[in-house]
Amino acid sequence: MEDIRQFSKDELMEVCSKLEVKPFRAKQLWEWLWLKSARSFDEMTNLSKDFRKTLNSNFEINCVSIANSQQSKDGTIKFAFRLNDGFLVEGVLIPTKDRVTACISSQVGCSLSCTFCATGFLKRERNLRADEIYDQVALLKSESQKAYGLNLSNIVLMGMGEPLLNYANVMEGISKITSPEGLGMSPQRITLSTAGIAKMIKKLGDDNAKFNLALSLHSANNESRSKIMPINDSNSLEDLIDALNYFYSKTGTRVTLEYCVINDINDDSIEADELVQFANQIKCKVNLIEYNPIDLAEFQSSSTEKIENFAKYLEDRKVIVNIRRSRGKDIDAACGQLANKLA
């Protein structure tokens, strides 16, 4: 049977016409699917029983489900999401005192093979559909209310996969999440993180993306960056500077540079100076992130003292910088650690 969430609003009108029900039923159906996040036709109580029976006989709703979850001692919760074809992806709820951030995935696995990231060691199986991206947020919104009594306040596409290599589905998923007819979240509370696909960053500018953009930089030296991020071979730092400036010229949105500080890899004064030079060429701020070790790589995080000295070097040269402490490390839920261990 066909998944009814793959139909546009106009196509739902055609469905209702063929089923000989009044056109306003299409609007009700759309609201149940995207505004109320209905997971079955039986939930749609303002539709007649006969219409619901007809829908059940002709269509299905292939929802993402929670396969497992694990809570960190710091309150972070990691979820394994099961897709309708059996694949798994992971998402994370990260609470602070008065807000909750959801970290979601965009692909099953990843094709970029970043050497410090657990997901990079997984095979990319497929892209997530727009409804699967939406479902992660809908589920995490509900889980946030249950676990913390707080509404979801922010979303980061920093989970498994490279969002800009699944461009159409990611943009459609974000549209469903931000639409008044969907989850109604502000795009200013959404951040898409990319390893750096220059031409797609420019496309974000052309499409006037309203959400925030973060670049996983991790080194401002082409040789050093290519060693840990092979994508740099085809998307050099010079290409990224050009793309980010284009993005800013189109959207007016300052980019965030994410920089995992890895011991003896990218934490010396030369790398710090190169980061300053890179940052000075674009409108940006820098987030320094504690590196989270993974089983498949021998990298280690820099010491707290090294990270603080690195930050001071940037601050002294007028770069806006924040140090981000990792959350959920004890359950492999922190940045770079998602690898379907909950499966």
Q: Supply the residues annotated as catalytic.
A: 90, 335
Structure tokens at 161: 């996969």
CA pair distance 155, 110, nearest whole angstrom: 20
Structure tokens at 41: 């036709």
C-alpha count within 13 angstroms, C-beta hemisphere, residue 271: 23
Per-position b or e across 177-196, b if 16+ CB within 10 A of its CB: bbeeebbebeeebbbbbbbb
Give the N- to C-terminal CA distance of the chain in Å, as an integer.
28
Per-position b or e across 115-126, b if 16+ CB within 10 A of its CB: bbbbbbbbebbe
Structure tokens at 9: 């609003």
The DSSP secondary structure of 167-216, one letter per residue, reads HHHHHHHHHHHHSTTTT---GGGEEEEES--HHHHHHHHHTT--SEEEEE
In contact, 43 and 32? CB cutoff 8 Å: yes
C-alpha count within 13 angstroms, C-beta hemisphere, residue 69: 15
Q: Is 89 helix (H, G, I), strand (E, B) or coil?
A: strand
Structure tokens at 66: 């929670």
